[in-house]
Structure 1
């Protein structure tokens, strides 16, 4: 069978079996026949990913050639790989693929047809092809006939890189070539690399079209009021946006154009450690036939054990967005009314919710403070304080100011209210305090979206300058000020100063930021 990977690559003659655009049922049958996965009691397909249960950011590269050399923010996040090195690996990979049984998915990234990216994904595993089938936007039969991919993802877990020969860090490689318009993912079975690689591609391409790409979830109310939820993995984007009283637009990746916002994806990729039907009924109900469970332990009767983290804390469920009742199809909506920056504060000192001035909004967007949660990256076993620029640094190829300036302009133009929401610890740091009750967080978020926090009194935090509501509907007032939740308030003050210093140290790396934004951070 002959398949064109992209317009930039040569015609490949595949000698093995190639299965193009199989149905959900066919892909599940293939995965079971090939012993790739197990069918869980609830009908979901459960797969495991071996030692790679999270992303491998240190193995992620961009080919540094003339097309991107001057526009990519090179460094530890966007690591360069020389064109000659990539080309050698790429040609070896194409030879590897020739006699393999492969699975092809053709679809789109981007619900807005003006800005969507036609993609092709080539997989060694049927279960991974099901994963992308459910997470990206599925074409209609008519669209499939004329589908021409502009970017191709080749995911080959069993193809190993030779560090000594290729000059890479390990046997694992995630590499993007904007000239070849191809992503190579090798040496890792973790399916999340596929979706995040296309997210990175969109993050590079869309600003050229005056569209702001965002690492956020989004939902919309009955009156058309749109809310955005920014935050890294594990901070609650998927959980908080899956609100039974609002319609889900998307759970992870969106663009903001002059017409409004649009989802990049056709599905959701939810963390499911500790998942319960009571706390997260929409996600619970979405895990059924057609869904993919990743690294979830099954009991003897094949019931998923969402409390078992023996393989990883980063257990996941992938499902199409229409498995969420009332989801917006296609995933487009108007301009947002409210933006919520989500952070899982491992220090336990940030308020559970606070209102931000425009300058504070830009400061905290650039800072992107949160805690890496266990399992989201290799080697992370407990929460670790970190700063991720624009709440998505691992996926931003361009300099941070490109995205920050676009967001600031849009917030001002559309008069958007911005809040900082701590979904992390209270009453003490990690190991002493406890995670803020999800029910309270939901109530605070609901109050912010419905405009009820505009009507209450505020106090100003003396260290961070954050505006803390004195009251919030359905939330005990004594938890709103985090200092009150600590038994030892002197210890709180010390820990708060410690975090403030980390903010200052991190923000010192930014140049060309206005004095007003610099002064919007913690007091020195």
Structure 2
């Protein structure tokens, strides 16, 4: 039988293993090892090879006596046996034992100390260790870090390639979670985001057990303590819209909501950088400096990032600690949410740019989680693809979606939260014909929603989706508020809108009779 604790203890106690290196030490090591290059801004730039996004088809959960009756098994949570995990774990440890250097980080997931998770990450690459140092919560001192007793471990070996025929995987890459052994085993992929999202999945498993809502959302707070949450999949605008110079950033991607309020699960941000500019997104642009990591961003001869170049991938990324944002809230905790924004990148171009949802509609759209996967966010995605992702984060949910939906519904009722649906996708036509929503207009609409200004205005019903659309928003052209007005031919819009409506209805059937009441009350008539 494999003794997992003994194997990992022997590995991290080797003289060649570097424990809890500082940012500057990790940057130096990455440059010395040829893993990356310093940019003109001071950030470390690395490439991730052919894996430039997550590999959901290579992600597994070990089925054992702990997980068997708790996990929502299926295409998202694919099962794998304990024997397969143990054999692969043994091979990965042997692989790492042969390396001249390894890098270990100890830290936390969760800014709420009562429910935070003690972490240990073992990396083959020094730049990966810098990545997790940026993304997870850093202990205040080295002594504190070294005293952490990990409750969960990530073991990452990118250069270990699995053999599907003998190792029981689907490809050379694998991300395997063992809830019983409290280990996440990653191999065959250099994409650093797998580590971040794996821990999020663990928190989505653990927090509900404590009665805490876990959420795939960004969050910020104003001077009046008005917390706003932004739900959405990658590329819908969570990071961009939450980075507001007039509000403190709580976090850009993963949060919990308990009896005291909202808290960040992470200690950093992981922002998409394709077409990034200082003019459009100044907070993110300025956060990319020494200590930050750039993934797959093309550099010119002077070492300057070319954010418009998607040669390697459309999913170019920047990973930086939260304190690189000037108005970040540290520690990243705040009160209860007053406004929730569901973000959808509608590639059909038929949903309104903003609409207000009643409580039943909020439950319906949360469980539906409609958006479009944008180019590069997953392997093989090269153009926007319509997708329904329950709770705006189904790839990271180990439990049934209704668990999270019911928790959110109770919180909306208890705290009288205003909920809006915001389309950050296309207008004037579908992808390839229309254009992407104007970011300036979207920011203005969101700020009006958060401030309460939209509560005072008038609304009219969208005839297809039964959504309440404001008749006017200060600072936004009135003609864009009803999407049909932006299309050159109304009949084509009608056809496309009704097609999407039917997709919503068909998708919701998968939730069965338990969700019939939500479908009747919040769905499309």
The TM-score with structure 1 as length reference comes to 0.97
**Distance in structure 1 (CA, Å) of the matches to 2:498 and 2:12:** 62
- Residue 455 to residue 495, structure 1, CA distance change in 2 (3 Å): same
2:258 paired residue number: 257
3-state SS of paired residue (2:175): strand
Secondary structure, counterpart of 1:147 in structure 2: coil
Find the aligned partners of 2:416 and 2:80 in 1 and give their Cα distance: 42
Find the counterpart in structure 2 of residue 406 from structure 1.
407
Structure 2 CA distance for aligned equivalents of residues 386 and 521 of structure 1: 19
Separation in 2, partners of 1:66, 1:10? 25
Q: For residues 138-149 of structure 1, what are the structure 2 equivalents within 5 Å?
A: 138-141=138-141, 142-149=143-150
Q: Which residue of 1 aligns with 2:58?
A: 59
Q: Which residue of 2 aligns with 1:32?
A: 31
* Partner deviation per Cα, 1:113-133 (whole Å, 9 max, x = no partner): 011001011111111100000
Q: Which residue of 2 aligns with 1:366?
A: 367
The runs of 4+ residues in structure 1 deviating greater than 4 Å are 4-16
Conserved 8 A contact 1:367-1:387: yes
2 CA distance for matches of 1:157 and 1:388?
A: 28
Q: Does 1:106 align with 2:125?
A: no
SS of corresponding position for 2:511: coil
| Map 1:67-466 → 2, pairs under 5 A | 67-100=66-99, 101-141=101-141, 142-466=143-467
Distance 1:378 1:103, change over 3 A: same
Q: 1:493 and 1:520 mapped to 2: Cα distance?
A: 23
Give the C-alpha shift of residue 192 in structure 1.
0.3
Q: Is contact 2:8–2:93 with CA below 8 Å preserved after alignment?
A: no
Q: 1:523 to 1:410 in 2, by over 3 A?
A: closer
After TM superposition, give the deviation of residue 517 of structure 1 in Å: 1.5
Verify the 8 A CA contact 1:249 1:327 in the aligned structure 2.
Answer: yes
**Retained in 2: the 8 A contact 1:16–1:102?**
no
Runs of at least 5 residues in structure 2 that lack an aligned partner in the other structure: none
Cα 1:220/1:19, change in 2 over 3 Å: same
Cα displacement string for residues 390-436 of structure 1 (whole angstroms, at most 9, x for unaligned residues): 00000000001110010101110110000000000000000000011
Spell out, residue by residue over 1:150-180, the C-alpha distance to the aligned partner (whole angstroms, 9 max, x if none). Answer: 1000111001111001221111100000111
Give ranges in structure 1 of 5+ residues lacking alignment.
none
Q: Answer yes or no: is the 8 Å Cα contact 2:7–2:93 preserved in 1.
A: no
Return the alpha-carbon distance in structure 2 between the equivalents of residues 217 and 502 of structure 1.
27
Answer yes or no: is the 8 Å Cα contact 1:260–1:332 preserved in 2. Answer: yes
CA offset at residue 360 of structure 1? 0.4
Give the conservation status (yes or no) of the 8 Å contact 1:134–1:319.
yes
Deviation at residue 523 of structure 1 after TM alignment: 3.5
Distance in 1 of aligned mates of 2:264 and 2:6:
26
User: Does structure 1 conserve the Cα–Cα contact (< 8 Å) formed by 2:19 and 2:104?
Assistant: yes
Kindly indicate whether the alpha-carbon contact (under 8 Å) linking 1:161 and 1:170 is maintained by their aligned counterparts in 2.
yes
Pairs aligned (count): 521
